[in-house]
Structure 1
């Protein structure tokens, strides 16, 4: 069971994942040993599933973002499994959610520019299994990139 101290550890790490165990302990009001033990327990339980750097997309030439709404022609188990496997394997698709209703999915796609996105759309998105319809919305401004959970 996650208690208030565990929530504070999660909240703190969510905002500053590179914080040392000593700094984390001081921030949440524990000594290092119990803080480290709680941290290991949170990792073992799956509450913390990993650590990563947050990279500014434009700094690596990926300043163009599109949201793609996908409607499948059929929603049988094989089509869904094939579609989801190909989406998961595609590194240009950085986020994907299956939805109730229409459309069936929303994908976030990163590209260098409009021309790069158009090529990706024509060659890769249209060839995903079971696709009936694709609709794109271009992101004008990302107000809350990578916002954490409300802990």
Structure 2
């Protein structure tokens, strides 16, 4: 949405709207802006959710640091209980994912168990905070 449209929607003129946006950006309320890319149109039409269980907590930081640097892992959440992590992984296709699984995922620090499930369809994406 443009700043002009936002100003209209919230009942402000453009200048105060810009000022409030800059204030929210500097305070960290607005963390950034992004572009949504269609994964299939850039050759990444395969998506898997990977549940990761670690052997123990001694490799926790090493695992997190290594995962943070892997481009094909587009989301990573640490979970309470088991499994320990949920990774969202993008690949070209199933054979490319299998290579990534064999060459990268199984070698991550402390991995005891990996369970993958393939994303069939996105029902809802880009959810926003209920504000």
TM-score (norm 1): 0.83
Partner of residue 29 from structure 1, selected from 11, 15, 29: 11
User: What is the aligned partner in structure 1 of residue 34 from structure 2?
Assistant: 52
1:87 aligned onto 2:61:
no
User: What is the aligned partner in structure 1 of residue 99 from structure 2?
Assistant: 119
1:97-112 aligned within 5 A: 97-112=77-92
1:132 aligned onto 2:112:
yes
Q: 5+ residue gaps in structure 1?
A: 1-15
**Cα separation, 2, equivalents of 1:73 and 1:84:** 14
1:58-73 aligned within 5 A: 58-73=40-55
Q: How far apart are 1:145 and its partner, in Å?
A: 1.9
Q: 5+ residue gaps in structure 2?
A: none
Root-mean-square deviation over aligned CA pairs: 1.0
TM-score (norm 2): 0.96
Q: How far apart are 1:33 and its partner, in Å?
A: 1.4
